[in-house]
Amino acid sequence: MLDKHAALKGAQAAVPQDEITDVEVVFPAGTTSAELLSQGLGDAVGGAAEVLGAAAEAGMDATEEAASVVLALSDSALYLLGRHRVGALASFRHLTPLHRIPREHLHVTFGREGVLLAVTLTDTATSAAYTFEVKPLGSRIKEMLAPFV
């Protein structure tokens, strides 16, 4: 479950020039489904895959910008802020600014990838698109991004 206070505080520290009003956490495409698969395998083989799942939670893959991304909304933009750890070792300190999409150029689409919600954030000024997975429980991402759909 998202520690909203800690996430807001971390996002504000990463973007001191803008007032952050809302946050949600998303994951690089494939990460959440891989986590669910490893949990299923863990149940099937008596927990051996749980070790792999825990290792996957500890840090990011070399091809990813971040292990998870905090979407930080302000009155002027949506910031994509990288977290380099997820799981028990994670915190919202030292978030890395990855991308900034001005609100007037933000377009959002939602889709499904199996049981997971997928969100694509498009900067209409540059055509850059960023697709992420959303954990199925506890997210308010649809409410947060509703004005941009």
pLDDT in tens, 100-135: 999 999 999 999 977 789 999 999 999 999 999 998
% of the chain residues with pLDDT over 70: 76
Cα(81)–Cα(95) distance, rounded to whole angstroms?
A: 6
Per-residue model confidence (pLDDT) at position 40: 44
Cα(90)–Cα(110) distance, rounded to whole angstroms?
A: 26
In the structure encoding, which two tokens stand for residue 47, read together?
């927990």
Q: Residue 62 pLDDT > 50, yes or no?
A: no
- pLDDT higher at 29 or 59: 29
Q: Residue 57 pLDDT > 70, yes or no?
A: no
How many domains in the chain? 1
Lowest mean pLDDT: which of 67-76, 84-93, 140-149?
84-93
pTM of the complete model beyond 0.85: no
In the structure encoding, which two tokens stand for residue 7, read together?
């996430």
- The residue whose two tokens read 């792999």 is 52
Q: Which domain holds residue 104?
A: 4-146
- pLDDT higher at 53 or 72: 72
CATH code for position 111:
2.30.29
